[in-house]
Amino acid sequence: MSSKVLTAFFEQLNTLLCRDYILICTMVRSVKEVLNDTYINTFPIRIELPDLRQRPLSERLEFVEKFFMDEAEKVKKEIQIDSELLRCFLLYFCQRNVLQLQNDIKIGCANAYVRDINQNADVLRVYIHDCPSYIRKGFLFYKENRKKIEALIPDNYRYTYTKNRSKKYEETILKVDQTSIYDTIEKKVEELRKRNIKEDDIMTIISSGIENDVSTIKNYIETSKIDRNVLTKLVDNRIIDLVDTFFKGASTCFNKVYSISTFYAMCLYLTTCIKKKGYTQHLSNDKIIEVVEKYKDEYAYSMSFASRLEEAYGIQITMDEVIFITFFLCENEIQNKEKHKPSLLVVMHGNIASAIADTVNQIYKEQIVYSYDLSLEKEMKQAYEELKNLCKMIDNGTGIMIIYDMGSVKVMIDSIIHETGIRIRKLEIPITLITLNCALKLSTSNNLDITYDDILTNGFDIGMWEKETNVKEKHKAIITLCMTGKGSAVQIKQYLEKNLDTSEIFILALATSNRNLLINEISKIKEDHEILCVVGTYDPRLFDIPYISITKLFDTPVDKLPMILALEDLEEKDSVDFDAMYEYLQEQLEHIDITILKKTVPGIIKNIKKIVPDFTINEEVGLFMHVACSINRIKSGEGFLKNIHKEGILLHNKKLYHSLKDILAELEAAMIFTFNDDELATIIEIIK
């Protein structure tokens, strides 16, 4: 209903009501703002509830469980869901708050009920694919809420709801004890058949989770002791050569970086394909069509590769197997497929934005547009904070396009970009100013046609949009890498810049111990750069990108540095001469006494070797660089860096933590400072 109709409705209602009646009404925020005066006059008692995103997750969990219990009472069955679905319901963005949350749970339960309508089971199992597709976007906010979520909803539990209670049961974890994707699928099929799920539905369920199975196999290999030497004993050399050529071509063709574990997993998977007997289709036709349409280029590339395999081994590669090969090729993209889609946000004055977003989302059948209604009465400072927090919440790492109506919004967006670093593109569509301009022209004219012609001829004198362009030019690049803080990575970068001609080479410093984040970051760099090599304190094990250890770097004479960066073989020593590093750091770190390091560091490393098995020479150098840079940073007044994994690291390494405090005591006394727990956690990450 329009605002005029709603206003008239409430005014008429007020005339009809007598004292024996109590009117209770729920109203969404956007309608309330339109009918503000009527709202205040009609309802003397008003209770305004905060948005779901402003409430604690524990409270939202109570809503979710209550709604599932309500649905269980309606269908007269026990409802079961897994921890992943429950987490999504706690994290996805609800434009219409509690009402939308309740409705989405109803839709999920209704779809599950229709699926099992011909079965007489007492239990209704609700899966994530039963729910609206935007529910899955809850995974996007998992990282920033991980501790809270895992405290409320542990892994590997099944949650059941009846009309009177909710309960959780620990589920048996499906372990991957082989590297065959088919073994994993068959185990799942067997488990689903035991639950009396129909064959068509089993195929749908298997298809919807196949990307995760490929990722699980890859992660299993990553944690196993498999290297290239072991691989040659398990896999035909022809397969290794074919896969090597496959990923090198893909890396160039798609500007992506692939991990060594993905390379190994592909080799082992193809070995299974060649040895397999018989064929059973595991993927639904809908899933095959979806992959072909979504990853057209990667699928075509995989088809070409499949033809080479057929020719080399005299076998037939099935459509399922081509799709699996495509999954390996897109594995990193599939893991982050939601993250690779920029967000769209509409910001306008009044309640226009939410109306536009709701309309588009209803047409699209998915929540793809977010909105922020900028009330004319709201203070700019409050509006800025709300808009900034919304941008943080909906940004998934690929940026946001913001459609806005007036210049005041542009100022806020520019400040948000500066403060948060979020990549934002602005599109000004000044519908409010256009309407205001038309209103002003009509208010001073009695002739509709003259005013209309004037607008068509002279326009509104309003810039319709701001176009932002980026000219990209591909340059050569070297990545310098450490685990945390960028201290060591920056020092390696400065060392290279001092001793090399870097006029045509970009040297980029990165710091992370998270493998997925690292691969994503390097893939982004590769879009604009040709990466020559990675130089750092640990080997990131990236396919087709050479690694040069920090030990090799400092052990190489300066005049021979271009040789190792050109990847010419030089012998790597079993020990390192720290004198070159001392000399270099003496020049670079102005807040530290190198003579104290010379005196204390050898003893520290010797004592660490006693308690940490297999402490490598590269880890020695990495630890030395990190400690030196940390002390210099603290002495300069910058303070300690936070380690977000501190609690978990210290919890699982209590003995090592206390040993390190004793080992580092001499250095702390000499430097007159103390390593805090964040710094000790980082040191434990380096040496382990």
Q: What residue has token string 């932002």?
A: 468
pLDDT, position 576: 57
Query: Could you tell me which residues come within 8 angstroms of residue 213 by beta carbon, excluding any fewer than 6 positions away?
Result: 181, 184, 185, 188
Q: Per-residue confidence at 61, pLDDT binned at 50, 70, 90? A: very high
559 pLDDT band, cuts 50/70/90, is confident
Q: Comparing 395-404, 413-422, 456-465, which segment has the lowest mean pLDDT?
A: 456-465
**Inter-CA distances, 564 with 436, 496, 533, 554, 622, Å:** 66, 12, 10, 11, 19
CA pseudo-torsion sign 430, 433, 436, 437: negative
Which of these ranges, 256-260, 398-402, 588-592, 661-665, has the smallest mean pLDDT?
588-592
φ and ψ at residue 188, rounded to 5 degrees: -65, -45
Q: What is the pLDDT of residue 55?
A: 83
Residue 343: strand, helix, or coil:
strand
Which pLDDT band holds residue 155 (cuts at 50, 70, 90)?
A: low
Residues facing 78 on adjacent strands: 123
Least confident segment among 68-72, 549-553, 586-590, 660-664:
586-590
Give the span between the Cα atoms of 351 and 31, in whole angstroms. Answer: 8
State the pLDDT at residue 60.
92
pLDDT tens profile 598-623: 788 778 888 888 787 777 777 777 77
**Which residue type does 427 have?**
L
CB count in 10 Å sphere of residue 677: 15
pLDDT for the residue 596? 82
Q: Are strands 400-404 and 424-428 parallel, antiparallel or unpaired?
A: parallel
Summarize pLDDT for 504-518 with one digit per residue, the tens. Answer: 788 888 887 777 778
Q: How far apart are CA 459 and CA 437, in angstroms?
A: 10
Query: Can you read off the two tokens belonging to residue 539?
Result: 């080997």
* Mean pLDDT of the region 406-420: 79
Render pLDDT for 438-450 as a digit per residue (tens, 0 to 9).
Answer: 888 888 888 888 8
The CA distances from residue 384 to 319, 345, 369, 428, 493, in Å, are: 52, 15, 20, 18, 38
Tell me, what's the pLDDT at 70?
93
Pairwise CA distance, residues 332 & 330, whole Å? 6
- In this prediction, residues 574-603 reach a mean pLDDT of 73
Q: Quick check: 67 and 98 in contact, CB under 8 A?
A: no
Work out the average pLDDT over 102-111.
Answer: 92
More confident position, 250 or 139: 250
Note whether 306 and 321 are within 8 A (CB): yes
Six-digit token string for 534: 């990675």
What is the distance between the alpha carbons of residues 570 and 185, in angstroms, rounded to a whole number? 46
How confident is the prediction for the chain on average, in pLDDT?
76
Classify strands 157-161 and 78-82 as parallel, antiparallel or unpaired: antiparallel
User: Has residue 248 got a pLDDT over 70?
Assistant: yes
Which pLDDT tens digit goes with each residue over 114-142?
A: 888 777 788 898 988 788 878 877 766 77
pLDDT of 173 reads 40
Please say if the pLDDT value at position 542 is more than 80: yes
Query: Which residues have C-beta within 8 Å of that of residue 98, sequence separation ≥ 6?
Result: 49, 52, 63
pLDDT for 470 equals 46
pLDDT for the residue numbered 466: 44
Locate 580 and state its tokens. 């070159």
CA 80 vs CA 75, 140, 160, 286, 641: distances in Å? 13, 24, 4, 26, 43
Token pair recorded at residue 29: 């925020």
H/E stretch holding 260? helix 260-275
- The CA-to-CA distance between both ends of the chain, in Å, stands at 64
pLDDT tens-digit readout, 363-385: 765 667 888 988 877 787 788 88
Q: What is the DSSP string of 193-258?
A: HHTT--HHHHHHHHHHTHHHHHHHHHHHHHHS---HHHHHHHS-HHHHHHHHHHHHHHHHHHT---
Confidence of residue 18 (pLDDT cuts 50, 70, 90): low
520 vs 339, 496, 517, 660, CA distance in Å?
Answer: 11, 24, 5, 33
How many Cα atoms within 13 Å fall on the side-chain side of residue 304? 11
- Weakest mean pLDDT among 16-25, 320-329, 342-351: 16-25
> Which residue bears the tokens 């990466």?
531
Give dist(CA 361, CA 200) in Å, integer.
Answer: 30
pLDDT at 297 over 70: yes
Task: Tell which phi-psi region holds residue 61, choosing left (phi > 0), alpha (psi between -120 and 50) or beta.
Answer: alpha
Q: Return the amino acid letter for 665.
A: A
Task: Break the chain into its structural domains and give their ranges.
Answer: 3-42, 52-170, 181-334, 343-429, 475-547, 579-687
pTM: 0.39
From CA 204, how far away is CA 285, in angstroms rounded? 9
Q: Is the pLDDT of residue 496 over 50?
A: yes
Query: 343-429: what fold?
Result: Rossmann fold (3.40.50)
| Higher pLDDT, residue 179 or 206 | 206
Q: What is the dihedral of CA 7, 12, 15, 16, to 10 degrees?
A: -130
Confidence of residue 494 (pLDDT cuts 50, 70, 90): confident
Interatomic CA distance for residues 19 and 516, integer angstroms: 64
